[in-house]
Amino acid sequence: MRLEKFLVNCGVGSRKDIKKIVGEGRVKINGLVTFNFGLWIEEDSDNITLDNRQLEFKILRYYILYKTKGYITAVKDERHPTIMELLPSWLDTKDLFPVGRLDKDTEGLLLFTNDGDTNYKMTHPDKKISKKYYVELEKPISVGDIKDLENGIDIGTHICLPAKVHCIEQNKIYLTIQEGKYHQVKKMAWAIKNKVSYLKRVKFGNLTLEEMKPGELKEIFLNDIIL
């Protein structure tokens, strides 16, 4: 494996960052400084350090993307732009996939990984992983509407589990659900004779957007997910 790719997979930074770091003589291979970011290394046996700190090649990787509107949650699609196009060019996307999905017109937190076990735990209905959305509605939401959502509303094909609603303004709420049915939040709004005008997922399990900017990618670790 090329040193450059190894350092990317260790979360050191972008390819541009890595060229600068290696050029400054901060990387050593088996105790010897190298200025060649294209050098071939053996990731299983060579000792690679950055600023004298040993680096570990990451077989399993985890990232949060702040998804923006206009992209479908798919790895490939011939007709529509996909979320893969939002990922930075320096990222090695081989075997990476999104965990769950967000609609084309929905923004917010999307988890990427190559860890199938984590994908299963985060998406299987039995696990009841919570998802929190910021929702703007076309019409004000009533106290009765909130009670219907919190009691478990019937969306026609499914009776939803009880949701948690925090009202911000008359037509702006935080909605927390424990399922991920197709268009579920939109169907829940339709069930109370309303319509979603803006939707953003702000939390997925224990993961949050924090101060991320739209389109930004952030590396995280398995213990950040805390299943």
C-alpha–C-alpha distance, residues 227 and 209, integer Å = 17
C-alpha–C-alpha distance, residues 21 and 48, integer Å = 13
Which pair of tokens denotes residue 101?
A: 């999905």
C-alpha–C-alpha distance, residues 26 and 34, integer Å = 8
Is the CB of residue 145 less than 8 Å from the CB of residue 134? no
- Work out whether the CA dihedral 215, 170, 184, 164 comes out positive or negative: positive
Is residue 46 part of the annotated active site? The answer reads: no
Which pair of tokens denotes residue 120?
A: 């299963």
- Active-site position among 103, 105, 115, 145: 103
C-alpha–C-alpha distance, residues 198 and 103, integer Å = 11
Residues belonging to the active site: 103
